[in-house]
Amino acid sequence: MQWGWRFPSALQTIQTFCDGIANGQLLQATLSSLRRIIIAFVLSCAIGITLGVLFARSRLLDETFGFAVVALQTVPSIAWLPFAIIWFGLNDFAVLFITTIGATWTMTIASRSGIKNIPPIYLKSAQMFGTGRGIRLFYQVMIPAAIPQLITGMRMAWAFAWRALVSGELIARGVGLGQMLEEGRSIGDTSLMLCIVLVIAILGTISDYFVFKRVEDRIWNQYGLNTAKT
């Protein structure tokens, strides 16, 4: 039994990384993965916020379908892949679908609670100042009041989307990091596999720490919520 090739050395991994960058494959895979996650993320935010607002505003809806959303959130999104494959085939759509599904429920729950937790006094005084009960109240008071929770929800949604994306790409066809990982396995190139895992980790950290956490901190500061949060 030869074990050596199963555990790539640091040097090998760096070598593979440089090669991947040089021949453009790694970069291309990264870009198309990023493109997918951004599309799915935007979709899931739009759907999640819309659903969340509906649940927060309509008691009937909340009592009938609210529980379903909690249940759906517990389903790992990869479980939807077989459906996606039957509906869309083994392609981009299937991956986008499960990535979107993976992030939507979290976003729905976060925006529902964000809207529900708005202090009633904000809404009362808004009406006193003449916003009415419609769209002006919605985008001038309800959305900004819910922003801290929405941002926290987005941060979680992004993490869920990232997970769903990689697992989807492992199975479905198309250019992407997950697919490259799968290629590495099929040709037994563990250094490529490790290299991809590292890229995934680095991208995840950068997006979470330098984008979402920054924005979250800034918003929480502006809202004066940081006294409660260290």
Partner 1 sequence: MIRVEGVSKTFEQRGGAGYTALDDIAFEVGKGEFVSILGPSGCGKSTLLNLVAGLERADKGRVEVSGKKVNAPGPDRIVVFQDHALYPWLTVLENVAFGLKQKRIKKEERHERAMEQIRAVHLGKFADRYPHELSGGMKQRVAIARALVMDPEILLMDEPFAALDEQTRLLLHKELEQIWLNTGKTILFITHNIREAVTLSDRVLVMSTRPGRIKKEFRVQAARPREAGDSLLHHIESQIMNTLAAELAKVAKEEYGDDYNLEKSPLSHSAVSNLGDGI
Q: Which residues lie near partner 1 (CB under 8 A)?
A: 119, 121-122, 124-125, 127-131, 136, 140-141, 144-145, 147, 222-225
Report yes or no: 103 and 41 within 8 Å, Cβ to Cβ.
Answer: yes
Nearest distance in Å: CB 136, partner 1: 7
For 117-176, where are the alpha helices, taking DSSP H only? 120-128, 135-137, 143-171
Residue 223 and residue 173: Cα distance in Å, rounded? 45
Is the Cβ of residue 10 or residue 121 nearer to partner 1 in the bound state?
121
Is the Cβ of residue 64 or residue 222 nearer to partner 1 in the bound state?
222
Is the Cβ of residue 58 or residue 222 nearer to partner 1 in the bound state?
222
Nearest distance in Å: CB 100, partner 1: 29
Is the Cβ of residue 11 or residue 121 nearer to partner 1 in the bound state?
121
Report yes or no: 41 and 161 within 8 Å, Cβ to Cβ.
Answer: yes
Q: Which two tokens stand for residue 58?
A: 């309509």
Nearest distance in Å: CB 111, partner 1: 16
Q: Which two tokens stand for residue 125?
A: 């005084």
H/E element holding 19? helix 10-22
Q: Which two tokens stand for residue 82?
A: 């077989």
Nearest distance in Å: CB 45, partner 1: 19
